[in-house]
């Protein structure tokens, strides 16, 4: 009896279900998910075929000459090509660039017309929910001691002549409406098909007790003195100050993301950002995403979680400061245990951290100076780089340090024993009980020295880009310190 | 060595290559090593599988099953 494979029917069923989901539930983003996870289709296919072949072998059915036929390999190549293309599209989002190019082309031909947005007022209870929908343009939202919402601003329209611009302005009126549980402020820019031609720069004053939700696509947003903030934006900087209540940012591209003076908790998800600043947040903060510039975390009263596919950082509290960029992490005064894992090259310097640390980087130097009051277990690993550990003179600890190619330097005397490791490496171990310090580098020196009370070089107080938004006058000032 | 083991090794070569290919792409997409840099692993896996086939076939056999 010739055994037949189940992979073909399974693939057909899977494809049918996916297409069905795409038509019935388009919000699931099936194509986007396919672009991200299609390699698991190949893994599943191969695994099912392996199971089948072993089953046939055990049952003594004749085995196929080749586990994957030529036709199937052709299908695999096609899947690879389509999957890679979907992944590239999902990652680079070329339509955003095409939109920008189309916008620029129009800028050559047309000119910009400006229309004031007449102030609208709506009285509301003190603790209300305010929903702002503005697809394009800068927004400034400020909390004040007031019982009403005031909205004003200006609109810029790119058009070939006056009448076209005036028509676009008329079709996109600002609306302030109240529904059951929220005041909704809408600029209605989505009524224009080519909405890159129009932007509404608005300034909103809300009661201080208002929880604000912002839905935008392109533009800088500044929010201060509100009770809770949820913000979704595809492109632009975000700056939030003095927010009492939870903060949630869901951003695409962002030049600057800044959250200062908030009670939190904070949840920040950014697809691709440059600078990030989180300061004076009373509870925990979670950050997910890629940042190409400077990151700064200071005075965070709860757990800090930062992660992307390459780097994970966990700290229980940040009374001090953490500064990061693509190749360096410098921190002082942390409450741990601190966990840092990076598959990138990264120089790490942790000063005055309590309750231990676990640091693992692909390559780069690691310098650690734990706090003398709350020593904890320490583990530091790098494939290529020096490791330096400064411990209090009276510290009770066990040490296990190993370099496969390099030297060890011991400042604690005979309580630690040196030995050679292979032809070029060295070991340093010993101690008198207490927490375990485990240091390991494949290529580099290891130094275990006494803490002289001198801090490691302090993180430089370099702040991310400052963005000034003045929606009323339409000024935008960006400067880098 | 039993010829059916040889046939088994030959039959699982394709699925193992397919799983490896999927794993390398998954690694690429999750931010790890790019496929353009990791693809030589496929050659290594293929080489190991062929080597196993030859070892199982033993001396005097081609490793191509019934053809020898």
Residue found by looking up tokens 């950082």 in the block: A313
pLDDT at A477 over 50: no
Give all strands (DSSP E) within A244-301, no chain letters.
Answer: 247-262, 266-281, 285-291, 295-300
Question: Tokens for A272?
Answer: 């691709």
Question: Tokens for A435?
Answer: 């927490």
For residue B65, the chain A residue with the least C-alpha distance is A65
What average pLDDT does range A434-448 have in this prediction?
Answer: 93
CB A437 within 8 A of CB A398: yes
CB B53 within 8 A of CB B7: no
pLDDT on residue A133: 92
Judge if the upstream peptide bond of residue A337 is cis by omega within 30 degrees of 0.
yes
Judging contacts by C-beta atoms under 8 Å, the chain B residues touching residue A37 are 26, 29
DSSP SS3 for A311: strand
Q: Which is more confidently placed, B20 or B29?
A: B20
Of the candidates B10, B15, B26, the beta carbon closest to that of A39 is on B26
Other CB atoms closer than 10 Å to residue A116's CB: what's the count? 10
CB-based contact A308 B11, cutoff 8 Å: no
Who's near A292: CB < 8 A, 6+ residues apart?
A272, A273, A274, A326
Q: What are phi and psi of B29, to 5 degrees?
A: -70, -20
pLDDT on residue A345: 86
pLDDT at A475 over 50: no
Question: Tokens for A225?
Answer: 């003195």
Of the candidates B12, B23, B31, the beta carbon closest to that of A50 is on B12
Question: Which of A233-242, A466-475, B14-23, B51-60 shows the lowest per-residue confidence on average (mean pLDDT)?
Answer: A466-475
Chain A interface mutation, best of B24, B25, B68, highest count of A Cβ atoms under 10 Å: B25
Q: What is the ipTM of this complex?
A: 0.80
Min CA distance, A67 vs chain B (Å)?
4
Q: What whole-number distance in Å separates Cα of residue A228 and Cα of residue A267?
A: 12
Other CB atoms closer than 10 Å to residue A187's CB: what's the count? 27
Who's near A162: CB < 8 A, 6+ residues apart?
A113
Q: How many residues does chain B have?
A: 68
What average pLDDT does range A213-218 have in this prediction?
Answer: 92
Q: What whole-number distance in Å separates Cα of residue A468 and Cα of residue A464?
A: 13
pTM exceeds 0.95 for this model: no
Domain boundaries, chain B: 3-58
For residue A79, the chain B residue with the least C-alpha distance is B22
């Amino acid at each position: 009896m010739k055994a037949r494979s189940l992979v073909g029917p399974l693939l057909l069923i899977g494809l049918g279900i996916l297409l069905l989901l795409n038509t019935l539930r388009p919000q699931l983003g099936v194509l986007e998910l396919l672009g991200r996870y299609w390699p698991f289709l190949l893994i599943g296919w191969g695994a099912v075929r392996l199971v089948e072949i072993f089953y046939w072998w055990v049952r003594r059915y004749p085995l196929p000459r080749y586990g994957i036929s030529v036709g199937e390999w052709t299908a695999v190549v096609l899947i690879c090509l389509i999957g890679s293309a979907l992944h590239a599209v999902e990652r680079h989002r070329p339509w955003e660039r095409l939109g920008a190019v189309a916008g620029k082309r129009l800028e050559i031909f047309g000119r910009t017309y400006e229309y004031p947005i007449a102030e609208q007022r709506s009285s509301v209870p003190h603790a209300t929910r305010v929903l702002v929908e503005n697809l394009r343009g800068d927004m400034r939202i400020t909390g004040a001691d007031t019982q009403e919402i005031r909205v004003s601003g200006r609109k810029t329209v790119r058009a070939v002549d006056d009448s076209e611009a005036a028509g676009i302005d008329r079709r996109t009126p600002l609306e302030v409406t109240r529904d059951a549980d929220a005041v909704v402020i809408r600029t209605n820019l989505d009524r224009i098909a080519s909405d890159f031609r129009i932007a509404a720069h608005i300034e909103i004053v809300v009661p201080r007790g208002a929880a604000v939700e912002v839905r935008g696509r392109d533009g800088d947003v500044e929010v201060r003195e509100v009770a809770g903030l949820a913000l979704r934006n595809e492109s632009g900087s975000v700056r939030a100050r003095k927010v009492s209540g939870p903060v949630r940012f869901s951003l695409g591209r962002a030049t600057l993301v800044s959250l200062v003076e908030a009670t939190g908790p904070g949840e920040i998800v950014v697809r691709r950002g440059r600078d990030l600043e989180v300061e004076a947040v009373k509870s925990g903060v979670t950050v997910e995403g890629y940042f190409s510039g400077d990151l700064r975390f200071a005075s965070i009263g709860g757990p800090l979680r930062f992660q992307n596919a390459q780097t994970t950082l966990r700290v229980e509290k940040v009374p001090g400061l953490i500064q990061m960029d693509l190749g360096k992490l410098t921190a002082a005064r942390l409450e741990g245990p601190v966990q840092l894992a990076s598959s990138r090259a990264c120089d790490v310097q942790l000063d005055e951290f309590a309750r231990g640390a676990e640091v693992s980087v692909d390559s780069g130097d690691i310098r650690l100076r734990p706090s003398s009051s709350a020593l904890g277990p320490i583990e530091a690993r790098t494939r290529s780089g020096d490791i330096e550990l400064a411990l209090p003179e009276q510290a009770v600890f066990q040490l296990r340090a190993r370099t496969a190619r390099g030297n060890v330097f011991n400042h604690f005397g005979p309580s630690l024993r040196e030995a050679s490791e292979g032809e070029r490496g060295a070991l340093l171990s010993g101690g008198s009980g207490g927490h375990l310090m485990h240091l390991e580098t494949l290529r580099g020196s290891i130094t275990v020295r006494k803490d002289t009370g001198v801090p490691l070089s302090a993180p430089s107080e370099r702040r991310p880009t400052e963005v000034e938004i003045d929606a009323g006058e339409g000024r935008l000032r960006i400067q880098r310190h | 060595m039993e010829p059916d083991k040889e046939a088994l090794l030959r039959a699982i070569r394709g699925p193992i290559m397919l799983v490896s290919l999927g794993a390398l792409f998954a690694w690429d997409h999750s931010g790890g090593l790019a496929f353009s840099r990791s693809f030589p692993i496929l050659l290594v896996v293929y080489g190991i599988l062929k080597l196993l086939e030859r070892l199982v076939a033993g001396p005097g056999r081609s490793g191509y099953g019934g053809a020898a």
